Structure 1
């Protein structure tokens, strides 16, 4: 254990006695004798912000992560002073600040301790770079668990780990590799059934230690900038994640086609190959909505150009693919080839938009095109210029989505794989070195790309994917987990990474199905497709260097399994789209790890495999070869086996059979699952009726179905259909109620309801308080199905 004296000898400095206190409405400022300032701001009753400054000053307050539109305001705020403490109370929290040291403890209203400083804030002067290394240490409780932090490819529960945030191009990264592509400095602590979050909004390289170095201490620190963190109280984990997402910005509802299956490889070219892959999908009847062009579509890897030899008429090709239901997505990287005859380069050069080294020359790095300069995306006018470059690709050629890669930024042939530290950035008027801008560079590129795609695709919705991300990147689109490997270990990693991203505010995430590096076996590809169709972003991608990776590459059996599961995803699109709506509106993650679903059950705290997809579907992928099934943990409550409709009670481990063509999937009792017919692409068919699978429960359960035009912004003007269902089941009857809002008229007029697990065959059915004959509703006793108007308010099934 390191003592305070030893820390002081290491050059650490600590705040001492408070000598001055000021209050400005919701902001409290404490100054110590040795000139440390702590500013505490109450954003909401459950969200407190702590900022520290040294030498008597705070830095200018600026953040790329915080969303200006987030909810603010509180119900109650008061401060009282005691002999040794200041006490600040809201309607949910009590914060006690020690006058001698600025150390603080945070309690709930019942007096339970939620979080307390250990050493609290301390710092050391960074003589090498200037500024401070800023540190915070907290006491960890005995059974405390820690989750979050974005894409870390390691066990969900981070207790005992030390990790860092520095976005890195980590080709073929392995399990436990750290850092990799994302920097999301937000974690969730869970202790005594109380969940809280800490968001350390500092874009320098930062570190988090969860009881690794010192057994009962959690600490976080950064190599520059200020100690600026938000404390977010639950006490339920969903509340923490929603508050964090609200703070850093909600995602936009994507177009429904973006939730379909996508096919990608490095690279599909020439045009004949692209058309051949697309026609094979349609010939084999494997649903697919997106086809991707990697770097080889460009002229010598110059962004915003076409290789006219491979793609003589891109507009016609994109249009023909579109008629066949394929949206074209193209890659755009940040490196701009140094070539005076290339208009993008010469324009940026003329306008002085490229990043410079400290001594003045432009930053030059090698990427795919050879020597490149790099736009400074932290400068507003550069972002505006970049957005305008999409006019031709999106507005004229008709491309529907853009994929930003290499935006860590990745640079070849240098040991650190990125810009040197001395590169300068504008940072929106707060000039700085690359040490500060590195983690946000890719997100600012994604932001500029998103604004460009949005501008030229309007009135439709944009689709952007980014590899690098900092907190708040969810506002600009989707992401994937980078260059993974075709291995069973990576299938395990894929499952954890997407769950972790979902509770870190970035739900629209997926992995390269099948693995990017190396070649999967047919069995591995089949198991990966099964998991991938339950990921918010669903795309097969491969480096193509070891062979192809389309669903038909692995023989008839794997082809049939792939089709079966991709079709399942397409039938579940209204269910998934509803989950996206809840994510966009309320910040509810699309995938929910089981510790998020039931934090009271300690059995869940170290589970990694199982997750809930949307509101009611529990998924547990098969992650080992030669499996005929697996053991899994069924959370508390009652669950129906999706394939057999067998009802099981949870709170225990169970064995589930699952040959290669199956995977453990369960539905929560009481859940209502909306299903579309199988389509080859979104919008292919008119939906004649909406199927509702109603899973009986003895009790009450709520479900939601959100629908709109599947693209465009009319839903913001009230043109949506939101159906809230309430199921109330008893032994001899069941009532289904519907509450509707919005004024979008769906193209179908009726529901086909399938009753699952009902303990009786209904003899009487009332629709809106009127008994109807069973023939009128086409009631089928064998299949337990019936047909009713979509506008019913209440259906009563009686024994």
Structure 2
């Protein structure tokens, strides 16, 4: 492994004196005596790209991570030359470039240093493979904290850690293990209440060191490619995260059923076993929308085939499952079995679609089917062919989602667990070795899968899930955190990983509930389901070699707890769907670590357990066995205990007692939380009422509810319903105003309004300035009332 120690700096080279510069619209080029060029491009006032080359010219500019549909623009761009430095000024920051050594410093408008070079850019020739090892080191400020970087299994705050980015199949990984399945080379720095971000868009193996080697230095480097990074300025963390998410792209809205509960195992077969599992969910009345088929549904693990002994008529089975509300999701891996009688293999062979070694033969490796060749998904023609392979699965058989696994890519029985570095890739017309293409291989597979499923699922929306991913993969796919373990440590890890993935632009993620490897106790499974229902993707999955891991495998008490929490998730579907709509439209993370929620509060900088689900619900899982409760931190604001409606002031630590069938959940005061009735699956029933839980606050608060047909694309034509509620609470009255957008008509006609924490007895009610009797709105002792959904203003006056 290449490290970045002081000894190695001896062979490093550095930019020398800048001798000239030129500006081309939004880009400024700085030329040094020793042939280094620094290109600084202003994409927005708070988003700046830095590119360095050591050879006197830049290679073709190409990135899989950047969303090319995103528009850029800035309010101000001035370039000023002083005697010892150049200054580039925007309306948000200014950037100083030293003439002597091309070191860069970025400052806010008031001149406060945000991010400054330490050694700055440096490099060494990589004689073994060719090209450069490119390096960057920055000064770390006092008290600085670091977040982001995808699915890392370590403390949320990365201060003091070194991490490696190389997509790796890590079965039963452990805390702090490096590297893992995903590569998201984006981090967020926070110091002096100012937040910034760095995205190092380099697909080679990369490393980040957050004051691990040297106390006041942060560095990142790559084993090839370009020093090419983006700087984002906040000063709020929310600005950094949303700008990064805009840059790398946002997903389209998923069908609502994908936000339901899913059940999976390696493997459910034959058909009778699948039906036994789905029937049991309906019998026990535990809601469930997705049932997964792992590799054993195939004929000898050949992708796009069925084992006719286990599944004699897949189309009929899938249709029968759909009739009972279950959507079938199947696994597809990249390894294509070498078999001259296998149609997928023959097509790829005839068209020369497989990856090759440097001197010509196809890359060969062992995975589940035995010896396989592997499609080169970095070739657009291969992606197009791969997309077409989904016609039968999606159009004819009726499968609703596809699950891409083993796409790091994983190879068995070889030391590095993957392709050799000399394997060649097309890289969309930029031919390269596997050293460059490895980290994006899984994303390009998921992209090709997405394009196929989307084509054949139309007019419905596609659903893809991937194990391996690089920045930008969220445009095509959801993900899960890979082969975890049934342990309390892994419950802690899952909680961290979801928060980190949300901050890293990849919100639609979950963990294998209960753990993939080994057997959870009933208590661990219950605690995991209590956390998992608050993750965007919610699926139980297990390796199956240790017995059963369905909710009913652990006895009556765990069945009841599972039902209670899965029902809660189904009630909260409109809230969750609205969270997703905010993510898709604004790049807002669906889960927010406390530091994201309130970066000004130093107590939040090292909190790992608590997180905000959406904008208004605070969740704190129980992460230890035999717990009667736990200590937790309530951030700023005032909160209501979800279970007891007890009012609690925030910005303090407190002990929260809980029963086995509860975890600490709090709702922000002033919130209006939408709820559906419990359904056994999405779309099971039409209903006439939407429940709104209204939590009293002295003051104002806004809440939104987004709804549409729950699938399809009519929402792009304005067929959606967006309701914005403004709550205004006074000592003896509340006013709720509703603003409506969109043309979609919901099935319900009424709101059932539950008033929580009301400090007065209701004396009078006005709807749209007309007085109504308390009987008309069915107000009762429980403080709920039923009113027409199309009101504009509800005025409740107390005694």
For Structure 1 versus Structure 2, the TM-score category normalised by the shorter chain is: over 0.9
Describe the superposition over 1:687-743 as per-residue Cα deviations: whole angstroms up to 9, x where unpaired.
211000000111111100000000000001100000011111111111101111000
Aligned residue runs from structure 1 range 194-343, under 5 A: 194-343=194-343
Q: Tell me which residue corresponds to 2:504.
A: 504
Question: In the alignment, is the contact (CA less than 8 A) between 1:252 and 1:477 conserved in 2?
Answer: no
The question of 1:177 aligning with 2:177 is answered: yes
Once the 2 structures are TM-superposed, how far is the Cα of residue 465 of structure 1 from its aligned partner?
A: 0.1
**Cα distance per residue 1:162-188 (max 9 Å; x no partner):** 001000000000000010100000000
Aligned to 2:611: 611
Please say if residues 71 and 247 of structure 1, whose CA atoms lie closer than 8 Å, have aligned partners that are also in contact.
Answer: no
| Offset of residue 5 of structure 1 | 13
Unpaired segments of 5 or more residues in structure 1? none
Q: What secondary structure, in the 3-state scheme, does the structure 1 residue paired with 2:661 have?
A: coil
Quick check: 1:520 aligned with 2:520? yes
The Cα offsets for residues 274-309 of structure 1, whole Å up to 9 and x where unpaired, read as 011000100111100000000000000000000000
Give the superposition deviation at 1:759.
0.8
Distance 1:114 1:680 in 2: 51
Deviation string 1:299-338 (CA, Å, 9 cap, x unpaired) is 0000000000000000000000000000000000000000
Please tell me whether residue 633 in structure 1 is matched to residue 633 in structure 2. yes
Residue 36 of structure 1 and its aligned partner are, at CA, apart by 0.3
Aligned to 1:52: 52
Match of 1:587 in 2: 587
Name the counterpart of 2:715. Answer: 715
Q: Distance in 1 between matches of 2:171 and 2:732?
A: 59
Residues 450-529 of structure 1 mapped to structure 2, 5 A cutoff: 450-529=450-529
CA distance in 1 between partners of 2:343 and 2:674 (Å) = 50
CA–CA distance in structure 1, aligned partners of residues 599 and 251 of structure 2: 25
**Structure 2 CA distance, aligned partners of 1:157 and 1:732?**
44
Measure the CA separation in 1 of the matches of 2:68 and 2:636.
39
Quick one: distance in 1 between partners of 2:330 and 2:287?
A: 20
Alignment of 1:10-409 (within 5 A): 10-409=10-409
C-alpha distance in structure 2 between counterparts of 1:703 and 1:659, whole Å: 30
Distance 2:6 2:757 in 1: 65
Aligned-residue offset at 1:615: 1.5
Separation in 1, partners of 2:185, 2:70 = 19
CA RMSD of aligned residues (A): 1.0
C-alpha offsets along residues 73-124 of structure 1, whole Å, 9 cap, x if unaligned?
0111111110011110111011111111111111111111111111110001
TM-score, normalisation: structure 1: 0.99
Q: 1:430 — aligned with what?
A: 430
Deviation at 1:6, TM superposition (A): 6.6
Quick one: structure 1 residues 8 and 371, their matched pair in 2 at CA, closer, same or farther if it must change by over 3 Å?
closer
1:47 and 1:725 mapped to 2: Cα distance?
33
Please say if 1:767 is aligned against 2:794: no
For structure 1, which segment, 142-151 or 727-736, has the greater mean C-alpha deviation from structure 2 after superposition? 727-736
SS across alignment from 2:762 = coil
- 1:670 & 1:227 partners in 2: Cα distance? 47
Runs of 4+ off more than 3 Å: 4-9
Structure 2 residue 557 is the aligned partner of structure 1 residue 562: no
Residue equivalent to 1:790: 789
Per the TM alignment, residue 778 of structure 1 is displaced from its structure 2 partner at its CA by 1.2
- Partners of 1:738 and 1:251 in 2: CA distance: 28
Measure, in 2, the Cα distance between the counterparts of 1:173 and 1:364.
26
SS at the partner of 1:357? Answer: coil
- Give the direction of change, closer, same or farther, for the CA distance of 1:55–1:303 in structure 2 (3 Å limit): same
Q: Is the CA contact 1:31–1:38 (under 8 Å) kept in the aligned structure 2?
A: yes
SS of the residue 1:763 aligns to: strand
Secondary structure, in 3 states, of the residue corresponding to 1:599? coil
Partner of 1:687: 687
The number of residue pairs the alignment matches comes to 795
Task: State how far apart, in whole Å, the 2-side matches of 1:128 and 1:599 are.
Answer: 44
Return the alpha-carbon distance in structure 1 between the equivalents of residues 649 and 9 of structure 2. 58
**Secondary structure of the structure 2 residue equivalent to 1:450:** helix
1:671-693 CA-partner distances (Å, limit 9, x unpaired): 11000000000000112110000
Matched, 1:415 2:415: yes
Name structure 2 gaps, 5 residues minimum.
none
Contact 2:460 2:713 in 1 (8 A): yes
3-state DSSP of counterpart to 1:437: helix
Alpha carbons 1:288, 1:680 under 8 Å: kept: yes
C-alpha distance in 1, partners of 2:291/2:703? Answer: 33
Tell me if structure 2 keeps the 8 A contact 1:134–1:227: yes
- Counterparts in 2 of 1:9 and 1:201: CA distance versus 1, 3 Å: closer
Aligned-pair distance for 1:71?
2.9
Give yes or no for contact 2:723–2:740 (8 Å, CA) kept in 1: yes
- The whole-number CA distance in structure 2 between the counterparts of 1:305 and 1:49 is 46
Q: Do 2:5 and 2:213's aligned partners in 1 also have CA atoms closer than 8 Å?
A: no
More moved, 111-120 vs 560-569: 111-120
- The separation in 2 between residues aligned to 1:752 and 1:417, in whole angstroms, is 56
Report the TM-score, using the length of structure 2 for normalisation. 0.99
CA contact (8 A) 1:337 1:369 kept: yes
